[in-house]
């Protein structure tokens, strides 16, 4: 007698899962590198072909790594905000120019402003693969020890930025 309730019970469980699923966005993929050290790499800068920057050069201070490109419409929107935070806060922002054209990229920064301490030029996209990049814009938060603490996919805005800073401060206190 009681066993006839089994289908109903199973179904109720299913509904609970489906309901909770409505809140998540299945297409956003969190970074697999959170809590790990930044990948080793060495890339030339955007402004100077002969100058190379390696992963070692970046450790010592916390920074943001912003993945951008001239072919990315959202990056243009985000750029103003980056220029803004570069002015008002002390945080260092490095740019990772992803699969782009050097001349076009330099022109872009000339026209729209340059919030980056340095821009790394990854035309082939290999270093970006090591960072788990799958599109632009993306922004990584790295702490002073060179460990990736946070990755934001999509446009950076005030809310996300404040969140990132909080995370960094919490880490400092620990």
Partner 1 sequence: MKKKITYTVFSILLFCISSIASSNSNQLLENRYAEILTKLRCLVCQNQSLADSDADLAQDLREKVRSMLERGKTDEEIYNFMEERYGSFALYEPPFNKKTIFLWIAPSILLLFVLIFLYYRFFRSQE
Partner 2 sequence: MLSLIGYILLCASLLAALVQVVSPTIGLLLDESKYYNKVRVFAYIQFVFMFCSYMALTFAFLSNDFSILYVANNSNTSLPLMYKIAAVWGGHEGSLMLWVLILNVWTMSVCILNKALSFKFLARVLVVLGAVSVGFLAFIVFTSNPFIELTPPPLQGRDLNPLLQDPGMMIHPPMLYMGYVGFCVAFAFSIAGLMAENLNSEWAEKVRPWVLSAWVFLTAGIGLGSWWAYNELGWGGWWFWDPVENASFMPWLVGTALIHSVIVTQKRNIFQNWTALLAIVAFSLSLLGTFLVRSGVLVSVHAFANDPERGIFILCFLSLTVGLSLLIFAIKAHKIKTKGGFDIFSRETLLLINNIFLLVAAFTVLLGTLYPLIIDALNLGKLSVGPPYFNIVLAPLILPLLLFMTIAISTAWKSDKPLLVFNRLKKIALIAVISGIAFPLYFYMPNEMVVFIATILSIWTILGPLDIVIKHITKNTSLLLRAVSVFFAHAGVGILMLGIVYSSYFSLQKELVMQTNEFVNIGPYKVQYKNVDLQKGPNYVSLMGNLDIFKNEVFITRLFPEKRIYKLQSKPMTEAAIHSTLFHDLYISLGEPLQRDRWGVRIYYKPFMSFLWIGILFMFVGGIISISTSVIEKRKIQNTS
Q: Give contact residues for partner 2 (rule: CB under 8 A).
A: 1, 4-5, 7-8, 11-12, 14-15, 17-27, 29-30
State the nearest-atom distance from the C-beta of 79 to partner 1, in Å: 21
State the nearest-atom distance from the C-beta of 132 to partner 1, in Å: 4
99 interacts with partner 1 by CB under 8 A: yes
What are the CA-CA distances from residue 171 to residues 31, 89, 90, 143 (Å)? 18, 18, 17, 8
* x/- letters, 32..51, toward partner 1 (CB under 8 A): xx------------------
Cβ atoms of residues 46 and 110 within 8 Å = no
What are the CA-CA distances from residue 19 to residues 12, 23, 28 (Å)? 11, 8, 18
- Residue 88 half-sphere exposure, CB side, CA atoms within 13 Å? 7
140 interacts with partner 1 by CB under 8 A: no
State the nearest-atom distance from the C-beta of 115 to partner 1, in Å: 25
Cβ-proximal residues to 107 (8 Å cutoff; 6+ apart), any chain:
none
Please choose, from the candidates 60, 137, 61, the residue with its C-alpha nearest in 3D space to the C-alpha of residue 98.
137
Residue 6 or residue 22: which is nearer to partner 1 going by CB? 6
State the nearest-atom distance from the C-beta of 35 to partner 1, in Å: 13
State the nearest-atom distance from the C-beta of 26 to partner 1, in Å: 8
| CA pair distance 174, 169, nearest whole angstrom | 9
Of positions 42, 134, 169, 172, contacts partner 1 by CB under 8 A: 134
Q: Token digits for 166?
A: 């909080």
* Candidate segments 15-23, 49-57, 110-118, 123-131, binder of partner 1 by CB under 8 A: 123-131
- Residue 50 half-sphere exposure, CB side, CA atoms within 13 Å? 0
Of positions 63, 68, 121, 131, contacts partner 1 by CB under 8 A: 131
Question: For binding to partner 1 (CB under 8 A), which residues are involved?
Answer: 27, 29-33, 99, 124-126, 129-132, 134-135
């Amino acid at each position: 007698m009681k066993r006839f309730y089994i289908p109903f019970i199973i179904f109720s469980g299913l509904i609970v899962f489906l309901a909770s699923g409505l809140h998540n966005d299945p297409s956003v993929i969190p970074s697999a590198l959170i809590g790990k050290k930044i990948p080793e790499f060495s890339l030339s800068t955007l402004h100077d072909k002969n100058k190379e920057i390696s992963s070692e050069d970046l450790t010592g201070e916390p920074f943001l790594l912003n993945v951008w490109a001239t072919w990315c419409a959202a990056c243009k929107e985000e750029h103003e905000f980056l220029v803004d935070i570069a002015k008002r806060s002390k945080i260092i922002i490095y740019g990772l120019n992803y699969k782009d054209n050097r001349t076009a990229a330099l022109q872009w920064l000339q026209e729209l402003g340059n919030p980056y301490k340095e821009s790394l030029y990854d035309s082939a996209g290999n270093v970006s693969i090591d960072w788990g990049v799958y599109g632009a814009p993306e922004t990584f938060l790295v702490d002073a020890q060179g460990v990736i603490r946070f990755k934001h996919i999509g446009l950076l805005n005030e809310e996300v930025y404040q969140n990132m800073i909080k995370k960094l401060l919490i880490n400092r206190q620990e």
